[in-house]
Amino acid sequence: MPAPYVVFDIETVLDQEAVARAYKIDPNDAESVQAAIGDEFPKPAFHRIVCIAAMTLTYDIPGKRWFVLEAASLHTGDRTEKELLAEFTSYVDTMHPVFVGYNSLAFDLPVVRARAMIHRVRGHYMAWRGFKPFSDHHIDLCELLSARGRGRMTLDEAARTFGVGAKTDGMDGSKVTDLAMQGEYDAIADYCLDDVTATASLFLLHQNFSGILDEAALSDAQLSVLTARNEVRTTRPVRFMQHDLGPLIATA
């Protein structure tokens, strides 16, 4: 049985306490914290994770089709960041998946690793499999679709250019901090899930380009992704693992 593919994305806010520890300043002094990092994009350890969304795809070899096994978008509105990370790393350690992300080698996985280390959360499979670029264990579509690092597209640009996915109108990552401060975690979760939906749809389109999916199978798979997205927004799963998947879990 082929390994499952976990398409994932995270949303973050600045961790002022982490910045303060690094630069020996008062964490309550927002101006000093901002001055310490300046205009640079914050380092991985300075991003506090407020949401992780994941959609697990599996490939049916006889039927030559991809379908969604399960999906969830979990946030820190109802759990701590440590609990969120433990839920995700435990799921990954159980599933032994191929990671699929968008700019995930440069951002998502380094942030997950750094924050897990801060909270003393283990992630064995991720540590040994997740960080190898262009490997059998991680597909970063941002890198895949760029020209050796040049001409990188944002996920929103890629989704619109290729006509796939479902992006939240009027929403972008710059609004996550304000939404978190307002306690609007479901809105953050929906946005994060839409990024996963777009990433999964791009992955399936590349499977079509690679000759693995024909047009009919591509259409069915993308419908499966959109159906899963809509179900998650309605049912709000509280765990990544939702089924008894014994025979489907890869051993490699």
Q: Can you tell me the distance from the alpha carbon of 70 to that of 200, in angstroms, rounded to the nearest whole number? A: 13
Return the percent helix, strand and coil in the chain, to nearest 5.
Answer: 50, 20, 30
Residue 247 lies in a domain: no
Residue 250 lies in a domain: no
Q: Give Cα 163 distance to the centre of its chain.
A: 20
Q: Can you tell me the distance from the alpha carbon of 6 to that of 102, in angstroms, rounded to the nearest whole number? A: 12
Residue 248 lies in a domain: no
Give the count of beta carbons closer than 10 Å to the beta carbon of residue 252: 8
Residue 163 lies in a domain: yes
Residue 70 lies in a domain: yes
Residue 251 lies in a domain: no
Domain that holds residue 63: 5-242
Q: Give phi and psi for 158, each to the nearest 5.
A: -65, -45
Q: Give Cα 250 distance to the centre of its chain.
A: 20
CATH (domain of 98): 3.30.420.10
Question: Do residues 66 and 217 lie in contact, with contact meaning Cβ atoms separated by under 8 Å?
Answer: yes
pTM of the predicted structure, to 2 decimals? 0.92
Residue 28 lies in a domain: yes
Q: What is the pLDDT along the chain (252 residues), one digit of tens a residue?
A: 688 999 999 999 999 999 999 999 988 888 888 898 888 899 999 999 999 999 999 999 998 999 999 999 999 999 999 999 999 999 999 999 999 999 999 999 999 999 999 999 999 999 888 676 666 889 999 988 886 667 889 999 999 999 987 666 667 778 999 999 999 999 999 999 999 999 999 999 999 999 999 999 999 999 999 999 999 999 999 999 987 654 344 433
**238 DSSP 8-state letter:** S
**244 DSSP 8-state letter:** -
Q: Can you tell me the distance from the alpha carbon of 135 to that of 105, in angstroms, rounded to the nearest whole number? A: 11
How many separate domains does the chain show? 1
Residue 121 lies in a domain: yes
